[in-house]
Structure 1
Amino acid sequence: MHAHGDDDGIIELKTAEQFQAMKQAGLVVSRTLALLRSAVRPGITTGELDRIAEESIRSQGAAPSFLGYGDFPGSICASVNEEVVHGIPGSRTLREGDLISIDCGAIIPADPAQAATGRWNTRGWHADAAITVPVGEVAPELTELSRVTEQAMWAGINAVKEGVALNDVSTAIDGYTRSQPRRYGIVRDYGGHGIGSAMHMAPMVFNYPVRGERTVLTTGMAIAIEPMLTLGKNKTRVLADDWTVVAKDGSHAAHWEHTVALTPEGIVVTTAPEE
């Protein structure tokens, strides 16, 4: 899930022990997304995917990071076709040829008893990730859109190092996207974020270089890197539900995200799929 800009500007530094809880949360998210990927098919509703996600998260001793966040009613964001992010799961049925982006977050609660009923404001440690999944056979340009978005994310992740400017991560995402033969819209209104004891914290992680951004990456930080690309322009608008963000020109979008931790042992993608 992208940042709403609700942090206080202070970057949280984690201890090795706190990173352990974040890695645990990351495992919950990666397992849940693997389950959802295998469940995506023509005929399933986004609401059914949401139920699978909540059950998966809670059965692993975690709580959903999204549920109740600013009154968001789901445990996942399910954004289909021209929807970029924050699609509300519900009665929408997936069809052959659709492209769905699924965003998922989990908290390892400080009090394990809260795994059964906890939600976004539960005290604990967070992980956040997103994947884009084709529904059945999709148009080649949609497969390529998803591939480029995922690789742009990895370009950003590969730029994460102790002492590197956060802007270098943003530049890597932007540079990879612009290196493609096709021009994609790099969504500017939304981006990644710091993460740890809350889902959204400082710093904001832009998907393009920003003049005056002076954050330097240091051990103890964790950030969610999440490019969003469209087949058209980068402009977006929010639907009447106050959540769903769509490409203004109606073009298809893709969204990929991982949580990346700068631990004392090195860079760890806490939400990476299990080997």
Structure 2
Amino acid sequence: MIFYKTEEEIELIRQSALILSKAHGEIALLIKEGVSTLTLDKRAEEFIKDHGAVPSFKNYNGFPFSLCISINSTVVHGMPSNYVLNDGDVISVDCGVYYNGFHSDCAYTHAVGNVSEEVSHLLDVTKESLYKGIEKAVVGNRLGDVSHAIQTHAEASKYGVVRELVGHGIGRNLHEAPEVPNYGKRGQGLKLQNGLVLAIEPMVNLGTRYIIQEEDGWTIRTRDNKPSAHFEHTVVIRKDQAEVLTTFDYIDKAKQQ
């Protein structure tokens, strides 16, 4: 069942997304060598709760943290821990906020200190592929157009596009229909209509697309142990241009400080 949102509901998601985007900015201020990932998680939870919202991920299907923090070869769903960030790490921070009855979802992969040129390029291309997908998220297009745009941009750099994990609809529930794969064929899949809210989230590997799940039941790694990147926005399907509800602006400002 696909739920198309009213303008009033979209406004509530926008408010949720603003808190989420600001939380990402707060986390970005802390990302540097010597900081533990548990410190990031605690700050995120504190910030979200201070703004009258709830971390969407905490206790979701038993997940015990507010953030998914995925380091280097971890693709997604990594758990915060006492691990301390090192120069050259890449860290994906994925966070959700529940506010006024609606969820928002957003992820960003940060470079810690000096990363290699090839890893820096992976981050750039993965972020670009997110926006390539968003460009196609307009009324009249099909879901496959979004998926195809992401896949072709990432694969042009010979990267592996993860297939087992997908984006999703979002609203009153954190995960709603439809699924949004990061690979696909143009002109196929659901026809996009105004008011559909999606979390679009490319997961792209420096090496092959293949992944494995750790014994904790959550952590997903690249099979070849090469780095992975992950970027995500919550967007609304609109007539001529998708409306992006989350923003990386607060992250960008934090990085300038």
Identity %: 40
For 2:67, the aligned partner's letter is I
The equivalent of 2:253 in structure 1 is none
Deviations 1:119-166 (A, max 9, x none): xxxxx1011000000111111111111110000000000111111101
1:65 corresponds to 2:56 = yes
Tell me how far apart the structure 1 counterparts of residues 210 and 123 of structure 2 sit (CA, whole Å): 18
The equivalent of 2:163 in structure 1 is 188
Tell me how far apart the structure 1 counterparts of residues 151 and 183 of structure 2 sit (CA, whole Å): 5
Tell me how far apart the structure 2 counterparts of residues 40 and 161 of structure 1 sit (CA, whole Å): 34
The equivalent of 1:228 in structure 2 is 203
The equivalent of 1:144 in structure 2 is 121
Counterpart secondary structure, 2:8: helix
Moved more, 202-211 or 154-163: 202-211
**RMSD, matched Cα:** 1.7
Equivalent pair of 1:83/1:253 in contact (CA under 8 Å): yes
Equivalent pair of 2:126/2:154 in contact (CA under 8 Å): yes
**Cα displacement (A) at 1:85:** 0.0
**One of 78, 92, 102 as aligned partner of 1:101:** 92
Equivalent pair of 2:168/2:180 in contact (CA under 8 Å): yes
Tell me how far apart the structure 2 counterparts of residues 156 and 264 of structure 1 sit (CA, whole Å): 15
Query: What is the TM-score with the length of structure 1 in the denominator?
Result: 0.87
Tell me how far apart the structure 2 counterparts of residues 239 and 212 of structure 1 sit (CA, whole Å): 36
Counterpart secondary structure, 1:132: strand
The equivalent of 1:203 in structure 2 is 178
Deviations 1:153-183 (A, max 9, x none): 0000011111110110001101111233xx1
Equivalent pair of 1:16/1:264 in contact (CA under 8 Å): no
Equivalent pair of 1:19/1:263 in contact (CA under 8 Å): no
Tell me how far apart the structure 2 counterparts of residues 190 and 273 of structure 1 sit (CA, whole Å): 22
1:1-275 counterparts in 2 under 5 A? 10-109=1-100, 124-180=101-157, 183-209=158-184, 214-262=189-237, 267-274=242-249
**Cα displacement (A) at 1:274:** 4.7
**Cα displacement (A) at 1:237:** 0.7
Q: Which runs of 5+ in 2 are unaligned?
A: 251-257
**Cα displacement (A) at 1:56:** 1.1
**Cα displacement (A) at 1:220:** 1.5
Q: Which runs of 5+ in 1 are unaligned?
A: 1-9, 110-123
Equivalent pair of 1:193/1:202 in contact (CA under 8 Å): yes
Displaced runs of 4 or more, over 3 A:
210-213, 263-266
For 1:48, the aligned partner's letter is T
Equivalent pair of 2:160/2:208 in contact (CA under 8 Å): yes
Tell me how far apart the structure 2 counterparts of residues 265 and 16 of structure 1 sit (CA, whole Å): 17
Tell me how far apart the structure 2 counterparts of residues 250 and 236 of structure 1 sit (CA, whole Å): 9
Counterpart secondary structure, 2:151: helix
Structure 1 residues 212 and 163 mapped into 2: Cα distance closer, same or farther (>3 Å)? Answer: closer
Counterpart secondary structure, 2:221: strand
Query: What is the TM-score with the length of structure 2 in the denominator?
Result: 0.93
For 2:219, the aligned partner's letter is T
**Cα displacement (A) at 1:92:** 1.1
Q: How many residues are matched?
A: 250
The equivalent of 1:115 in structure 2 is none
Equivalent pair of 2:144/2:187 in contact (CA under 8 Å): no
